[in-house]
Amino acid sequence: MAKVALVTGAQQGIGRAIAIGFAQAGYDVAVNWLDNEAAAKEVAETVEKRGMRALLLRGDVGVVAEGAALVVDTVAGLGGIDVLVNNAGIFPRVEFLEMSEGIWDAVHDVNLKGSAFCAQAAARAMVAAGTRGCIINLSSQAMRGTPLGVHYSATKAGVAGLTRAMALALAPYGIRVNAIAPGLTDTAQPRYGSSEDELVAMAAALPIPRLGTPEDIAGLALYLASDAASWVTGQTMHINGGSYMP
């Protein structure tokens, strides 16, 4: 039986590439989406063209009950869960002096609380089934700080801490937990805050002078889920073309 991966926010960008990458690697994939059913269906169809099963799951990970239901439905529909990729995230740009409590809470609900409670639900399912599984969280290079994303940077730094603590909590069950922190990647997200000319200039300034691709990030996710990473847990892996070297 094929292993099963649940990818949140899989309708576009990095989530889409990760879902398709896991299908190429022989996983059945639960494709979570929120607001673009047509895009999510295209991802599911691509998974199926790779010869694997796809399960479309609408749900808002910022609502704890909906995030937990994604795991329940994955287990029911695909027979288990081996990998959770906490990819869903939001980044509404806002000046710090104008930031409201509502915007702060919305970003934390999805990016940090959603990741924590989806992981909890997935880990409970893995423990119940005796699965030595893997959880991959999406952090960001923005964890270092970004002026229009005080709320976002806080969540992505929080994801790194969450990852370390969950790795310790879940190691006794054979569940590994790691995070990926992408730099400037060719998706819709950086285009909400930068023009095409600005993106070109930023990419040209990198040691490896190009935008990252969603497939670059998917490749790292596949490594972290593989047996090659069986001694890797609690790590935040930076992938950014050399713009940040911790």
Q: What's the rounded Cα separation, in Å, for the pair 54 and 65? A: 22
Alpha-carbon 71 to chain mean position: 15
> Are the C-beta atoms of residues 152 and 105 closer than 8 Å to each other?
no
Q: What's the rounded Cα separation, in Å, for the pair 166 and 146? A: 26
> Are the C-beta atoms of residues 224 and 136 closer than 8 Å to each other?
yes
- State how far the alpha carbon of 242 is from the alpha carbons of 15, 147, 206, in Å: 22, 21, 6
Q: Determine whether 27 is an active site residue.
A: no
Q: Which of 152, 173, 223, 244 is catalytic?
A: 152
Q: What's the rounded Cα separation, in Å, for the pair 44 and 10? A: 9
Active site members = 152
